[in-house]
C-alpha cells in the first residue's frame, strides 16, 4: 500500500479547523474553538482537550497536530496498510468517532459486502487487513459505500440516544457527503 497520510490529513483538516476572521483556509491562522455541548472542550486543528489532556491546545501548532494525528488515529488504524480511499475513510471516521468505532464500522462494512467471515471486535489486525484486501480486489467502492452508510447510521444512533446532539448532525452528515465526493474524485485520478 502507499502512504496516503498527507491527502487524508488535508481532508480531515478541511473539516476540523476554525480560522481567524479574514484568514479562511489559511492553516497559519487556525484558532481554538469551544463549542457548547461538545464534550471535547477546547479544540484546535480538530485536536480536543478531552482526548489529549497533556496537550496545550491553545498553543498547538500544525506540526504538532500532524504528529498527533499520524501517531494516533492514522497509526492505530493501520493507515499505511490500507488501500487508498479505505485509508482516508477509516482515518476520518477515527478522528470524528474514535478508532474503535471506525474499525468496527469497517468490519461491519466488510461483512455487508458478503465476501468474508470476520469477527467484529474493533481491532484492526491481520484478519481484518486480509479481509479488506479480499473485498477490495472485487468490490472496493462497495466497501466504501457500506462504510459511509454505516457512519451515517452511527450518527443517527448518537442522536437517538442523545437528542441534545441533534445540532451536530447536519455537520456530521455534510462531512460524510464531502468524504464520499472526495473519494470519488480521488478514485477518478488514481
CA pair distance 38, 43, nearest whole angstrom: 10
Rg (CA), the chain: 17
Burial of 22 (0-12, 13-18, 19+ CB in 10 A): exposed
Look over the chain and give the mean of its residue pLDDT values, rounded to a whole number: 93
How confident is the model over 17-55, as pLDDT tens digits? 999 999 999 999 999 999 888 888 899 999 999 999 999
Select from 3.40.50.11440, 1.20.140.10, 1.20.141.10, 3.40.50.10490 the CATH code of 5-189: 1.20.141.10
| Predicted confidence (pLDDT) at residue 1 exceeds the cutoff of 80 | no
| Predicted confidence (pLDDT) at residue 134 exceeds the cutoff of 80 | yes
Amino acid at each position: 500500500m502507499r502512504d496516503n497520510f498527507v491527502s487524508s490529513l488535508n481532508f480531515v483538516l478541511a473539516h476540523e479547523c476554525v480560522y481567524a476572521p479574514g484568514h479562511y483556509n489559511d492553516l497559519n491562522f487556525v484558532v481554538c474553538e469551544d463549542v457548547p455541548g461538545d464534550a471535547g472542550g477546547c479544540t484546535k486543528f480538530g485536536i480536543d482537550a478531552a482526548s489529549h489532556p497533556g496537550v496545550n491546545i491553545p498553543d498547538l501548532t500544525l506540526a504538532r497536530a500532524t504528529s498527533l494525528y499520524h501517531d494516533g488515529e492514522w497509526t492505530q488504524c493501520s493507515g499505511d496498510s490500507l488501500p487508498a480511499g479505505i485509508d482516508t475513510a477509516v482515518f476520518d471516521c477515527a478522528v470524528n468517532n474514535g478508532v474503535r468505532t471506525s474499525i468496527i464500522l469497517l468490519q461491519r462494512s466488510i461483512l455487508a459486502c458478503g465476501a468474508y467471515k470476520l469477527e467484529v471486535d474493533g481491532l484492526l489486525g491481520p484478519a481484518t487487513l486480509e479481509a479488506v484486501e479480499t473485498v477490495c480486489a472485487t468490490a472496493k467502492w462497495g466497501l466504501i459505500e457500506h462504510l459511509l452508510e454505516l457512519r451515517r447510521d452511527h450518527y443517527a444512533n448518537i442522536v437517538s440516544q442523545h437528542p441534545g446532539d441533534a445540532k451536530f448532525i447536519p455537520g456530521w452528515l455534510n462531512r460524510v457527503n464531502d468524504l464520499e465526493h472526495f473519494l470519488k474524485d480521488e478514485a477518478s485520478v488514481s
